[in-house]
Structure 1
Amino acid sequence: METNEMKDTVLGEMPGENQPATGDSYTPESLETTEETTNDATTDNVNNLHSDEVEETSVVEPVDFSDEEANLASTEIGDDEPEEEFDHGHGKDYSGYSKAEMIIAIKELVESGQVLKIRRDIEGIKVAFYKRNKSDIDKFRKEFIDGGGVPEEFQAPHDDYENQLKDYFTLYREKRTSENILQEKSKEQNLDLKLHIIEEIKTLVDSQENFNDVYNKFRDLQKRWKEIGTVPQARLNDLYENYNFVVEQFYDFLKINKDLRELEYKKNYEAKLALCEQAEALLADTNIVNSFKTLQHFHELWREIGPVVHEVKEVIWDRFREVTTQINKRHQDYYEGLRSIQKQNLDAKVAISEKIETMTTLNINSHKEWNKRSNELVEFQKQWKSIGFAPRKENNKVYDRFRKACDAFFAKKREFYSELKREMETNEKLKLELCEQAEAVKDSIEWRKTTESLITLQKRWKEIGPIPRKHSDEVWKRFRAACDAFFVRKGENFRSAETQFDENLVQKLALIAEIVAFIPGGQQDENFKNLKDFQRRWIEIGFVPIKEKEKIQLEYRTALNKHFDALKMEESDRTLTRYKSKIESIQSHSKSDFRVRNEREKLFVRIKHLDADIHLWENNIGFFAKSKGADALVRDVNQKIENAKSEIKSLEEKIRVIDGMDDTQQ
């Protein structure tokens, strides 16, 4: 390679033609940044803010965080790989998508083959997903609490969509890393190709071929140079210096005719002039980051354009450099302003963290005070969400401090309510014992003794503290119902017991007279219905004085059975009717409920025994078929089965009679 001294001699007319002059505002964030550097250190400031934004969006109330969700939500997509985007614009709006639609969208993006161009959409889906996720959890928590649940016991349901999101996000990062590795390999290959082109241009200087052939080869090499992709940033400046040097050599040593050279210079001048105008138009662009990105592309194009005449070389370069300086200045001022705002945000977040830390030191001993402090903390969390990003180096630290303070507060609150819950559970056991004691005496007829006992229980009830809200009404209603049941019975007993029994006696005597006077008609169903109505009315009348009870019951059964016997009913109907009379007789005695239940239980036991016998007989039939004289045995067993089934049917009818009598009494 030629020395710098040789280059100055040969290219003395074009210093700084395709490279910035030293001493200007030419920084790694400005002129040297090209399309090939958009994935490297030039965009650190943009990446810093951008990754903070991703993390900040995922902040939810600390009490609801799961470690796994927080890790995914705060993952910075570009921390360990190049970033192809410069601006802070957003991709498609996914806030209206359902979780299922978001999974479909991220799947299509990851499988699209455009892994280096989908970052903003990936971030948009992630942010929208966790906002929707938080909304769903808040809804489930509210339903849990409204249903009587304790807030501290709430656990968010498992979400398969979140696992799918994480899987696609991991696949995206893997594909992106692979693509970047391929790109780096491609850049190295491109570098080798361009170095080879430089060497080929050098050989053209000493070529003895026809001028037109040589010039066509040169133009072909230039075309191939432009078609080759990007190269590693570290080799960019040296590469272009060597390229421009050999191009200048070609123009000078090959001694192109003046007209062709002037035409080439004119074309290059017009192209660079157009770039100056386009760059100046960027000053009116309100999107500072976007204009800075576009300027980097213009610098790449500037390098590709050939030289201009010496007289305008410095002028046009100064014009391009001036607009570059202004755009760089706007870009730097923009991020300086953001840093100032981020510093203010950091101070605000530190202040909130300190206030919450102070709250964790308070000695709170009442439910009312905990509610008050919890509401204050929720307001602090809302304020936190409304504050913008802090500087990247401090953002994670202050967030960890904020979250630890919130976790400490809620841990202390859970401890308080855990102790309160244990106390309330003890109170509930004590009150349930009082309920059982009250229920044990609610049917007592020892009026004075039971009254004193219930009053004592009521005093003890008031002395016991509160119980869990979800059981409070139920336990109180149970205790009150037991007390009320006794005192209602007591009042009724002393007010109208004797009078009511006498009135019932008069009504039953009148009903007996009505039964005796009853003349059956021609319709047997109608006659049977009338007799059933007599039975129903008898039960509805109620008790009579004990000394008249057996006498009047005998008169009633005699009168009613006389009419039933007169009806030409089937034997099964008669049996069922007699059974109804039997149950009615049982119900007229003391402890009738117990005796009726006992009768019903006997019927059920008999049915179970018959079912077991039927099952055994049916199994035995299979064995009889293998023995001599099997037909007779089978007939005998089948007859037993039919008789058992018939008896079961009759028993079920009797159970329905008992159940029907109970419904009538109620």
Structure 2
Amino acid sequence: MSEGNIPEVKQTPDVEEAPKALNENVENPEVQEAVETVADKTEDVPQEVVDVNDGGEDAAGNEEGGEIPVDLGSLTLAELSDRFDKLSQADDRMKRYKEAEAIKSAFYKKLSKEKAEAGFGAKVDEPSSREDVIEDVTTAAQTEEVKDNPFEAMETAFKGVYANYKKERAEYNRQQDAQREENFAQKQAVIEDLKNLVEKQEDVNSTFPAFRDLQNRWREIGPVPATKFRDLNDTYQFYVEKFYDMVKINRDLRDLDFKKNLEAKEGFCEAAEKLSENENVVEAFRELQKLHEQWKEFGPVAKEYRDSIWDRFKAATAVINKKYQAYFEGQKEKQQENLAEKTKLCEQVEAIAGKEVKSSNEWNSLSNEIEEIQKTWRTIGFATKKENQKIYDRFRAACDKFFTRKREYYTQFKDSMNENMEKKLSLIEQAEALKDSKEWKKTTEALIALQKQWKEIGAVPRKKSEQLWKRFRAACDEFFNERDKNAKPENDFHGNLKAKKALIEEINEYVLSGDAAADREAARSFVEKWQGIGFVPFKEKDAVQAAYTEAMQAKFPDFSLRAPRQGSGNGGRNGGFSRKPLSEKDRLVQQYNKLQQDIDTYENNIGFFSSSKNSAPLIQKMQERIDAAKQELKDLEAKIRKAEESEEEK
């Protein structure tokens, strides 16, 4: 996690009081009068519930838009872009437009901030949220300026995805509007047919089935424009009431109608009672609203069931309403707990930000601590509305303080790298001045000395590192290639290379005799032969030396390849074997320790790369090495345990 990727916690409103789900037991006196006329004035109109959203058939639409994810501000630009990509491909993407707009706002807020911190200015061209405004998105030309500004491509890509989503959303809404208008026309046709049916006043045996068909048609037709719903519905209800008032429906058909309505409403009661078992209180409350909408679609029931069926439905509603209220009360308590937890995290970050740090390793270690604290922060929910922004500002200020100090440290480190670059440029100039020399021996020694100095100089800016090395290596190669071409017979570099390769092959094929003295003598003989062979081509020297060292260590692991000290005779008392032979366990432990050191070095390098831009590929490659090394550590641990068991058995 780089300094710019500090989590943002979006301000959220306090938990609102849970709204009353439904107004209960609302009666329609006109419908009641009409139905009682038909049913010998013994039945009442079904108890109704006032629309929760006062939006009629469009009320369910208010549930669309998608829930806005919490804490979008804590995500990076790449994570926000990826989240929007996934949303734009989801099946329900058209209903999640509120979430889409929230992601867009968070993306441009983060983009503005990071551009400002990176020195590119805080100005961003955030596309409009209006669906009737579709911006053209063109790909930025790959100029040097654009290449140096990593935000340009990211912003362009996001704009393209957002523009496509907005176009699709606009087309979706257009189709929805067109469908609602078509539904409106269909329902007007149903009303016209119902009006004609009422005016005919034909025999009930023919009119009632037609009336039932019209009711089914009405229910099957989808939603209409919200602005036209109430007038349309009032007109429909008027003719329904008029039908019951004017048509002398016989008792058998009436009882059948009441029975069907009772069965449907019993089903609604069972569904409402089942919802009380749903652990997701918010989802249960929304489903309850839908049940109340469906309840209103059905007519009256027999008088003896009217109160009982409504009381049952009302009781199930009260259970869910009570749980809904309790849920929001619990949210308030949880927010107080979240505030206490976030306060503790603020204190931890403030303590870390105030520490005196003197080394890169310490900065990396503390950065990891900060990142872990930030991960914990993201798992904690919102605090109260009054304190949420304040506690976030406090946390953000502490993180900013730490990473500002870290940037200052690495700025000084960058100055050091620039000094190293000047030193390496000086070595390059010296090497280029020597590359055309014909004094083979003297120039060889001079270039080798320059190479040693090169290795001793510290790091240089990453963008220049490869360029400088290639230039230095080219100067050295030019000289050594020319030297090899003009080699004298007594200094045949390629012949020496063949001789050394042959000696390495001889070492690998040597079979230990089991006699320690004889094996030591053989090892010394190999060393003398190696040292007696002259130089090899410059490009091959490192590889052939490494192969020789590996062969000797594999065949004679306890033999020292270092030259014997003066006065030590034939390599000392042990002739090159400076200690007793290592056991299998000891050799494994040595490999384990060396591998652990390599892992420490890799992890330290990751800490260095994390402060650089566009370092993700390097970090990933280094992480792969770490993972492979850790797996090798596990294998070595198993081998060490096996070696210990073997020693115990002996």
Give the TM interval when normalised to the shorter protein: 0.3 to 0.5
Pair member with larger Rg: 1
More helix by share: 1
Q: TM-score, normalised by structure 1?
A: 0.45
